[in-house]
Amino acid sequence: MAARSANLSATLSRKADTRRKIILGGLLLDAAMKDTAWEAHLNELMGRISRDQDRKAFEGWTFKGGPVDD
């Protein structure tokens, strides 16, 4: 029974953590779309993405929602 309770607690904790990340990400994206300073900060952070699979998620994407300027 204790293991089940611990599993439920861990699941709820992960869900809360995921929700916080989604909310914070939405706020940061909104800020970047409205303010060039925030856009610059997030572009700098995105430049730190090291995993190929993570970088691919952003290929061709901009904060404005249009294609990347070449």
**Domain span holding position 50:** 20-60
Compute φ and ψ for 60, nearest 5 degrees: 75, 5
Residues recorded for the chain: 70
CA distance 1 to 21: 30
Q: What is the pLDDT of residue 68?
A: 58
Q: Is residue 32 domain-resident? A: yes
Give the whole-angstrom CA distance, residue 28 versus residue 3: 37
Asked if the structure places residue 54 within a domain, the reply is yes
Contact indicator for 41, 17 with CB cutoff of 8 Å: no
Residue 67 lies in a domain: no
Using alpha carbons only, what angle is made at residue 64 by residues 21 and 66, rounded to the nearest 5 degrees? 120
Overall number of domains in the chain: 1
Task: Judge whether 47 lies within some domain.
Answer: yes
Tens digit of pLDDT for each residue in 14-68? 999 999 999 999 999 999 999 999 999 999 999 999 999 999 998 988 888 655 5
Q: What is the pLDDT of residue 69?
A: 57
